[in-house]
Amino acid sequence: MPGYIGQSGTEDKNAALQSENNIFTCKKNDEFIIDIEDLGTDGEGIGKIQGYTLFVKDALTGDKVRVKIMKAKKKYAYAKLLEIIEPSEWRTEPACPVAKQCGGCQLQHCSYEKQLEWKRKKIQDCLNRIGGFTDIQTEPVIGMDIPYYYRNKAQFPVGYDKDGNIVTGFYAGRTHSIIPFKNCLVQHPCSSAILETVTKYMEENKVSAYNETNHKGIVRHILIRTAQATGEVMVCLIINADKLPYADKLVKMLLECSLSQKSGNINGINNNFNENSFIKSICININKENTNVILGNSIEVLYGTPYITDYIGEVVYHISPLSFYQVNYGQTVRLYEKVMEFADLKGDEVVWDLYCGIGTISLFLAQKAAKVCGVEIVPQAVDDARENAILNNMENTEFFNGAAEEIVPLQYEKSGGKLKADIVTLDPPRKGCDEKLLNTVVNMEPARIVYVSCDPATLARDLKYLCNKGYEVGKVQPYDMFGQSCHIETVVLIQRKDT
């Protein structure tokens, strides 16, 4: 049974029963021994004492743990993990030495099999609780062959440690404190050599790191993008200045650094990345705003091209620093193949691809559709989409710049209500789709809607809306795009009931 320990460390099971009507309460610094029964939305452990819920970061279902209350509310509290008394059968030793401090990987202490099981349950719970779906079953999550070294994009903040040394790494969870680390186990291995080289360039040439407090300093972030199919690498420094000092020296040092590492075993982990990586693009992105937004709009090429090139199947894409492109190449190929399967194109369909980014799904579907119309709010992404269409000789595409919830209803009104779509694909941000957009999609009467979601809660909400408007869910297929983290990508087939 869970027990109260107290601030002194001596057990007193009645000390926590402090409020009227014998309702359980606690206060900051109280300690308890609890059993972890489940995981929360962000991967935190959940335990209960007499119905009172405790959220415990780094705790795992099946653990018995000793915790300290950090913040207490009326019905729940946040607690710090002090000791694992009995470990869960799914608990593993994190491969990364800073996994606990870093905010990037919330689940490295959990076996990969259990991660996939929990992510499936997370989707199913949202469908049941938010969507009200009791007869829809989420398919097992399609996991990665190797859930490490999979990311093709990373944005590393740059700053100083307490001794004034330049550091790069990742922010600690829910903070802007940098955890210094150059060997991230979910990023492409070439990132380590690039970070070492940029740090050395800054030290040797006295190029300052950005300070968020006083808005001074030059280098804010280091953006690294890699292309699995071609091996091309982009290095982009986000700077708080119009020019980068000694830029020619940075270019020389980066081109001389060795990125090649044989695929196989690194840090005890097998990988299957492209071992012939080489730098194709070096550029700067200018962001002088006092903001937490990482990228500005102005880009200057220091070396090579303003983009790198990658392939998904037979479709070629140019990817710039501002492009949205799925971060997990292997899983993206699988996911897009499922989108194509759900779309079930015969060759004469009109497809509307909403939130299309640089046209990745648009062009993938344009291989079989009669016409694809893409809508994207980011102007640079639309430019990329149009360029990528030309690159692939796909004249059956058209791209609109603007918010989907504004562009699509406007086009529908302009058509006098005659605008129709055979297929609609939706790939919105975490906030999901605007109701005005969903209403217009329904009015366009597509036979099928393929929804690609990165947030199970907003997915369930939007599915509920669509199913109240004459549609039904055909299949829910999750993909683990973000191993070791709490995030999950889901592809859903939605069909009109009268088809």
Residues with a catalytic annotation lie at 454
* Contact between 229 and 239 (Cβ < 8 Å): no
Taking the C-alpha atoms of residue 139 and residue 134, their distance in angstroms, rounded to an integer, is 14
For residue 320, give Cα distances in angstroms to 32, 324, 381, 395, 467.
Answer: 51, 9, 9, 22, 38
In this structure, the number of other CB atoms found within 10 A of the CB of residue 155 comes to 16
Tokens 């869970």, residue located: 2
* Contact between 491 and 123 (Cβ < 8 Å): no
Helices (H) then strands (E): counts for the chain: 9, 24
Taking the C-alpha atoms of residue 235 and residue 153, their distance in angstroms, rounded to an integer, is 10
Residues 230, 232, 238, CA angle at the centre, nearest 5°? 150
- Give the 3-state secondary structure of residue 235: strand
Helices 247-256 and 190-204 sit at what angle, rounded to 10 degrees? 140
Taking the C-alpha atoms of residue 40 and residue 121, their distance in angstroms, rounded to an integer, is 11
